Amino acid sequence: MEYKNSILDLIGNTPLIKLNKINKGLKPQIFAKLESANPGGSVKDRIGYSMILDAEKRGILKPNGTIIEATSGNTGIGLALTASVKGYKCIFVCTEKVSSEKINYLKALGSEVIVVPNSYEPDHPDYYVNVAKRISNETPDSFFAYQYSNPSNPETHYQTTGPEIWRQTEGKITHFVSSIGTGGTISGTGKFLKEKNPNIKIIGADPLGSIFKHYKETGEIIKGTPYLVEGIGQDCLPENVHFQYIDKIINISDKESFAAARRLTKEEGIFCGGSTGTIVHVALEISKDLSEDDVVVFIVCDTGERYLSKGHNVEWLKDNRMLDMEIKILSDISDAKKRKGKEEIVYVHDTILVRDAIKIMNEKGFSYIPVLNEFMRPVGSLRESRLITKVHGNKNLLDVFVKDVMEESFLVIDAKANLNEVRKALTDAHAILVSDFGRITDIITRYDLIDYE
Ligand SMILES: Cc1ncc(COP(=O)(O)O)c(C=O)c1O
Nearest 5°: CA angle at 36, between 31 and 41? Answer: 175
- Give the residue whose CA is nearest to atom 16 of ligand 1: 231
The CA distance from 151 to 233, in Å, is 19
Amino acid 374: pLDDT:
84
Residue 343 banded pLDDT, cuts 50, 70, 90? low
State the distance from the centre of ligand 1 to the C-alpha of 60, rounded, in angstroms: 25
Q: Using the predicted structure, report yes or no on whether residue 68 has a pLDDT greater than 90.
A: yes
pLDDT average, residue stretch 153-166: 98
List pLDDT tens digits, range 227-254.
Answer: 999 999 998 899 999 999 999 999 999 9
Report strand pairing: 175-179 vs 295-300.
Answer: parallel
State the distance from the centre of ligand 1 to the C-alpha of 67, rounded, in angstroms: 19
Q: Using the predicted structure, report yes or no on whether residue 173 has a pLDDT greater than 90.
A: yes
214 class by beta-carbon count within 10 Å (0-12 exposed, 13-18 middle, 19+ buried) = buried
pLDDT average, residue stretch 75-83: 97
Nearest 5°: CA angle at 120, between 115 and 125? Answer: 85
The CA distance from 32 to 43, in Å, is 13
Residue 430 banded pLDDT, cuts 50, 70, 90? confident
Name the strand (E) or helix (H) holding 266. Answer: helix 254-268
29: nearest Cα among 303, 284, 300 = 284
SS3 for 30-99 is EEEEEHHHCCCCECHHHHHHHHHHHHHHCCCCCCCCEEEEECCCHHHHHHHHHHHHHCCEEEEEEECCCC
179: nearest Cα among 239, 242, 77, 249 = 249
- Give the residue whose CA is nearest to atom 6 of ligand 1: 181
pLDDT > 90 in the chain, percent = 73
Amino acid 168: pLDDT:
98
Residue 427 banded pLDDT, cuts 50, 70, 90? confident
The CA distance from 9 to 118, in Å, is 35
- Give the residue whose CA is nearest to atom 2 of ligand 1: 231
pLDDT > 70 in the chain, percent = 99
Beta strands in 134-287 (DSSP E): 142-144, 175-179, 201-207, 248-252
Q: Using the predicted structure, report yes or no on whether residue 210 has a pLDDT greater than 70.
A: yes
State the distance from the centre of ligand 1 to the C-alpha of 376, rounded, in angstroms: 29
Q: Which amino acid is at 207?
A: P
Q: Which amino acid is at 400?
A: V
State the distance from the centre of ligand 1 to the C-alpha of 185, rounded, in angstroms: 8
370, 383 in Cβ contact below 8 A? no
The CA distance from 257 to 170, in Å, is 30
Amino acid 1: pLDDT:
96
Q: Using the predicted structure, report yes or no on whether residue 308 has a pLDDT greater than 90.
A: yes
Which sequence positions are flagged as catalytic? 44
370, 378 in Cβ contact below 8 A? yes
List pLDDT tens digits, range 175-202.
Answer: 999 999 999 999 999 999 999 999 999 9
- Give the residue whose CA is nearest to atom 15 of ligand 1: 231
Q: Ligand 1: residues within 6 Å at CB?
A: 72, 74-75, 179-186, 230-232, 273, 275, 301-302
Measured CA distances, 110 to 73, 79, 81, 85, 305 (Å): 14, 11, 10, 11, 20
55, 145 in Cβ contact below 8 A? yes
- Arithmetic mean of pLDDT over the chain: 93
172: nearest Cα among 301, 282, 297, 289 = 297
Which of 179, 229, 306 gets mutated to test ligand 1 (max ligand atoms within 8 A of its CB)?
Answer: 179
pTM greater than 0.75: yes
The CA distance from 377 to 386, in Å, is 23
The CA distance from 87 to 103, in Å, is 20
Count of Cβ atoms closer than 10 Å to residue 5 Cβ: 7
Exposure on the CB side of residue 196, measured as CA atoms within 13 A: 24
Angle between helices 274-287 and 254-268 in degrees, nearest 10: 90
Q: Which amino acid is at 433?
A: L
State the distance from the centre of ligand 1 to the C-alpha of 137, rounded, in angstroms: 25
Low-confidence winner among 23-27, 202-206, 303-307, 355-359 (lowest mean pLDDT): 355-359
351: nearest Cα among 397, 386, 400 = 400
Q: Which atom of ligand 1 is nearest to the CA of 180?
A: 11
DSSP SS3 for 368: strand
The CA distance from 79 to 3, in Å, is 23
Amino acid 337: pLDDT:
85
List pLDDT tens digits, range 105-146.
Answer: 999 999 999 999 877 888 889 999 999 999 999 999 999 999
* Bridge partners for 168 per DSSP: none
156, 183 in Cβ contact below 8 A? no
Q: Which atom of ligand 1 is nearest to the CA of 301?
A: 3
- Give the residue whose CA is nearest to atom 12 of ligand 1: 231
- Give the residue whose CA is nearest to atom 14 of ligand 1: 231
State the distance from the centre of ligand 1 to the C-alpha of 75, rounded, in angstroms: 8
Beta strands in 180-327 (DSSP E): 201-207, 248-252, 295-300
Which of 227, 228, 232 gets mutated to test ligand 1 (max ligand atoms within 8 A of its CB)?
Answer: 232
> What domains can you pick out in the chain, each with its CATH number?
13-42+151-319 (3.40.50.1100), 44-144 (3.40.50.1100), 330-452 (3.10.580.10)
